Structure 1
């Protein structure tokens, strides 16, 4: 049965008490991204900093979660330690279905636990358990231990936890989800750390009643056939997004060596095919997804105690390979996995960590920092040194690494090197495609390459038409906001066209929502930006470092004047959107 009202669990860590709340708004915000913004507007403290005890940590799902393939993501909303503004991070795994089987649309966590704790959420039980003995434990061991503490529910249980980076409130700290997924960007792990929350276990013990009649089954089959029997999703299962490495290198859009280059013959050693041929053990999938886009490789290690070989499974895809591979000049596939294994254990966002270490490497080469700061010599291509540096960054071993963990630009303001910091709102994603992408990630809502299709636009357009390019960004955003309110995996954009989404919504009973998708998507877009603005967003707060003006792509050198115009016009359009939303509200 559909839920006309949102069913929310609000849990206060300070009191140890949970409260169930029913909230209107389904036909206005759908769920997911829209619901997270609505809940932050209700529970957030706009006049308090990100780490104030009252700030909420929000997890939301959508109206199609559990009903259709690839509706398998969860949105995490919080005030970011990175820029002290409201943001989102999206994660896969089993969390979405676990919440659905708990009969919840959202989990809102407020307050701060007295000691390091784990929150257990199930249909018939809520528990806040003291786990102070787990302080400093890496995310891998924490996951294993939490599975032993909270037994049962395999397949219906989702385990979220942080590593040491979250405990020290690093702005690069992610939240590890189950085994191979993450709420990666913008420091969600720091928010958990600030709340003394080591882990969250969500055990869905209930059932999901499917709609009666033939229409739902018919629509479900249509979607399933698109996902499994066409080329729409085949790329993601086969080589996965790692396929992009060769493509982007060929068009001079792959960052190398802290973005000093955008193509390199070394790509031959780290293509998606090399990873599949040499390192791939198996594919995995998020709960409710038949695609299997999670590619899991392996590394072998000789244990110090027993001198025996053990192997670790390490997930990979395009962004982590760019971040700790090409960006660091590492051209050994197993070397990339070894660095990622350490990053996973300390629970850092791989993209932010890799880009930050690339800046540190160039800063060391220029004499701005020394081994007094980095503790080990940093030079491009040195796998073992980067493994050690990842541990130092995740654990905040000294003042340098603690500062770097707050953001590359913050470290650069102290040590110098702002001009070659590869930061676009946060550490860049791996698409050096040109001016529109650089402007879009700088000002995008999540500072994510998936906020818009700018990276794709850059690859198709050579003309320098500011109005046309910015209009593309503005027109592209509402549809993505609607998908992340469903909450769909954005890999499925081709599957879930507007017509297909409407058919899905109607088939499960959300007819009003289906008939007003254009209005709802625009409402979600405005709501998210209004909440972000209330926490301090202004376009002038974000700049594009000089390194991005020196990039060469297949179109030639980046045009700094054109890029500046794009950023300024995009900023004006966002502020106009915010002003219009505030008047309407």
Structure 2
């Protein structure tokens, strides 16, 4: 195949795929890209175009949209792809980001965005090789027990080494677990809110993207200079030191010391023996390599080697398991597990099943407390006795959630909101906005940020960072609200590029303006800031269409019973902060 070259501004192609008819077409959407740049800005507007009133999360015509940005595959750490969908977990806007090779592969295929609609009559996987899209029968890999194995099979049978990405689901997506994830190039994921469930409903097992086109900048000298500036800033600052050295697992000891690490279903905020599951201990005893997303110099993906016996004759298998702060929290402290090898085994099983690990950890923690309180029986759990720190019981529980053998495990597979409404225990179901919480209990900023955010994620606005500021020097609730609003707008722009949020302080407004200019896109700082506010409004328009209402928000009592880092919270104070946010946003 001859290599084609594209000036970067010309890469504004949207690939539309229909799984029902197994057809596709391409449109150049200059109208969207000139105003919304790319990434989440373009994806949000496409979702507003494609969504039909009353379409449910798993209906065939509910679209999945993948989008990259103008800086993807062009500048360092601009490695992400955004996925937009309607979440089967909470019914709201589903927004998820993944690294790996996908953004690079899409752009070198000649596309910045893919819109997928319809539903296949039988399992399929889709291959995208530059201008050719092929629909292949996936029946032979539909029931594989591991999402990891699917990638290994497709790498053998499909061409396209190098600029290639493979995304796929595991058994959880096939079985309709509402928080099923999509595995991206083995160590990355579209994790939260159930994109894997949507794949499964569409009978879409995997997508393989391989591109041979090239991207050519209109002013190569200016581009090289800007690239060098950004690269030097990344590798010669604390960004490189923190995320390459220990990665996010460095935060385990920090949050534990600050009494902000959710433990045993948030009954506590620190765990005994935390040093065993610290990033330091994982690095010293288990770390074997670091992996980078395509186009990133940092190498923040930390991979551990776990040696596990499979017979009494000294026979072993070795597992390569990636870990980070959120995974250690979800399957470690929140389940009362302080054994590092147990944490790795639990992560590995979830990875193979293809489930969001944060949601799984919270669901199992709730179930453990429910059983300890006598609210569910061993008849419900099929004889399983859940107790804090019991690796064997949790491994079995994960298997049962994915296999759905009875009504109780079916409820667990629908998330902690559904399960707690059915069986009780809503007051200690640690969720906000219908999404199981990440690993922070730091104060007002965190709870407010998770409650009002686009997707109820700490990545929407980093409310825990506001708590950190308040811990170091007391600040008013209004300033916490203002911080969250500013971060939401700024991250909306970063997610148009689409930059990794680890590098958010490298991609300042000034640097984004210069980086865009070097590739032929003229935007001022004020235009970017106004665009961030516009994207916010559009995303909340989507949230409202999907059923979000402020008056339906409720915060479980557990958040007010367990003292966070910045001191005990009162429900009234949080309610006032939510109302302040709502008024300032004009919602």
TM-score using structure 2 length: 0.95
Q: 2:351 aligned with 1:344, yes or no? A: yes
Match of 2:4 in 1: none
Contact 2:80–2:498 at 8 Å: present in 1 too? yes
Contact 2:443–2:567 at 8 Å: present in 1 too? no
Q: 2:289 aligned with 1:282, yes or no? A: yes
Q: 2:420 aligned with 1:409, yes or no? A: no
The range that moved more, 337-346 or 163-172, is 163-172
Match of 1:550 in 2: 561
Match of 1:453 in 2: 462
Contact 1:9–1:18 at 8 Å: present in 2 too? yes
Cα root mean square deviation, aligned:
1.7
Structure 1 gaps, min length 5: 578-585
CA drift at 1:124? 3.5
Distance 1:365 1:20, change over 3 A: same
For residue 155 of structure 1, the aligned residue among 162, 177, 183 is 162
Match of 1:252 in 2: 259
Match of 1:399 in 2: 407
The range that moved more, 2-11 or 500-509, is 2-11
Contact 2:11–2:110 at 8 Å: present in 1 too? no
Q: Could you say what secondary structure the match of 2:265 adopts?
A: coil
Mapping 1:112-123, distance limit 5 Å: 112-123=119-130
For residue 521 of structure 2, the aligned residue among 510, 513, 517 is 510
The range that moved more, 53-62 or 528-537, is 528-537
Q: 2:540 aligned with 1:529, yes or no? A: yes
Distance 1:488 1:213 in 2: 21
Q: Could you say what secondary structure the match of 1:522 adopts?
A: helix
Structure 2 gaps, min length 5: 1-6
Q: 2:217 aligned with 1:210, yes or no? A: yes
Contact 2:8–2:217 at 8 Å: present in 1 too? no
Distance 1:270 1:543 in 2: 32
Distance 1:544 1:435 in 2: 12
Distance 1:364 1:39, change over 3 A: same
Distance 2:377 2:583 in 1: 42
Contact 2:9–2:521 at 8 Å: present in 1 too? no
Match of 2:3 in 1: none
Match of 2:248 in 1: 241
Structure 1's consecutive aligned runs of 4 or more residues displaced over 6 angstroms after TM superposition are none
Match of 2:438 in 1: 429
Distance 2:38 2:430 in 1: 33
Distance 1:568 1:519, change over 3 A: closer
Contact 2:93–2:455 at 8 Å: present in 1 too? no
Q: Could you say what secondary structure the match of 1:359 adopts?
A: helix
CA drift at 1:515? 6.6
For residue 197 of structure 1, the aligned residue among 197, 201, 204 is 204
CA drift at 1:158? 0.6
Distance 2:569 2:140 in 1: 52
Distance 1:81 1:247 in 2: 34
CA drift at 1:103? 0.8
Contact 1:505–1:513 at 8 Å: present in 2 too? no
Distance 1:306 1:524, change over 3 A: farther
CA drift at 1:315? 0.3
Q: 2:142 aligned with 1:135, yes or no? A: yes
Summarize deviations over 1:158-202 as a string: whole Å, max 9, x none.
111111111122111000001100000000001101100011111
Match of 1:583 in 2: none
Q: Could you say what secondary structure the match of 1:109 adopts?
A: strand
Distance 1:281 1:76, change over 3 A: same
CA drift at 1:465? 3.4
Distance 2:185 2:341 in 1: 23
Q: Could you say what secondary structure the match of 1:549 adopts?
A: helix
Contact 1:436–1:566 at 8 Å: present in 2 too? no
CA drift at 1:289? 0.5
Distance 1:146 1:396 in 2: 27
Match of 2:87 in 1: 80
Alignment length (residue pairs): 575
TM-score using structure 1 length: 0.95
